[in-house]
Amino acid sequence: MRLVAHRLPTSAAAAQALADAGANMFELDLQLWRERLVVSHYLAVMWPIPRWRRDGLRFSWARELRGEPFGVAVQTVPDGAGLVLDLKNDSGREAWLLAERVVTQDTDRARCVVASKHWASLDYLADRGFATWRSVATRRRLARLLAAGPDPRHAGVSVRHTFLTPATLERLRPFGEVIAWTVPTPSRARQLTRMGVGGIVADMPEVLAAAAGDDA
C-alpha cells in the first residue's frame, strides 16, 4: 500500500513523525520558478486577483515563490521513503520545461514516481525511465481517461478520492495502481483501503495510520 504524505514538512523531525505514522512516500510539489526547480505548494500569482482553485492551493504574492530548492527539500525525506514528484506546472510550455528539468536531476529514479495532470509530458518522462501516475482532478478528465483506455507506459493513476466508488475503481484496475487523493479522514481512508485502492495521499498522521491499519 502506498501511503503518501501530501506535503513534505520543512524539518526532518516532522517528516520522520509522518513516517512513524505510516507514510512510506512523500509528495514533493515541483514548480519551475525562474529556471530553478522549487518544492512549493504555493501558486505564484502574477495577476491582480488569484483564480479560485478547488484543491485549496495557497497563493504567493512575494517576488519569489515560497518554497525550497529541490536538492534541499529532498534531504528532509526519511531514508528508505519513496518520492512522489507532483508536477505543478501542468499546462502549456511550462509543463514541458518542468518535465525536461526533472529528467536532468541527479535523482534515484527507482525511488520516484512522477504525477501530473499534463499527461503528454508524463509520456515523455515514462519513456525516460520514470514510473508515472496520470492525475485526474475533474470528472471530465476521468471520463476522458476511461475512454482512452490503459497505457502500459504508466504505472497507475492518481484520482481525487471523491470520484472513487467500487464501480469506478473496478473500471480503473486495468490502469495499474489507483491512488486516492487527498483523503481527509481516517474513516474514508479505511473505506478506500477496503475497496482495494493501491494507495492514499493524506495530510494528517491519523489518516495515514488508519490506512496502515494502526489507529493508535
**Domains parsed from the chain with CATH numbers:** 2-211 (3.20.20.190)
User: If pLDDT is split at 50, 70 and 90, which confidence band does 42 have?
Assistant: confident
User: If pLDDT is split at 50, 70 and 90, which confidence band does 53 have?
Assistant: very low
Task: Give the orientation angle of helix 92-104 with respect to helix 119-126, to 10 degrees.
Answer: 20
Give CA–CA dist 216/134, Å, rounded.
33
Checking if the pLDDT of 212 tops 80, the result is yes
Mean pLDDT of 153-174: 97
Mean pLDDT of 103-111: 92
Residue 205 CB neighbours (<10 A) = 16
Mean pLDDT of 50-72: 63
pTM exceeding the 0.85 threshold for the entire prediction: yes
Residue scoring higher pLDDT (204 or 66): 204
Checking if the pLDDT of 2 tops 90, the result is yes
* pLDDT computed for residue 47 by the predictor: 47
Q: What are phi and psi of 207, to 5 degrees?
A: -70, -45
Give CA–CA dist 163/99, Å, rounded.
27
* pLDDT computed for residue 45 by the predictor: 54
Give CA–CA dist 15/168, Å, rounded.
33
Query: Does residue 184 sit in helix, strand or coil?
Result: coil
* pLDDT computed for residue 215 by the predictor: 44
What sections of the chain are H helices per DSSP?
12-21, 70-73, 92-104, 119-126, 139-148, 166-172, 186-195, 205-211
User: If pLDDT is split at 50, 70 and 90, which confidence band does 213 have?
Assistant: confident
Grid coordinates given for 156: 497507475
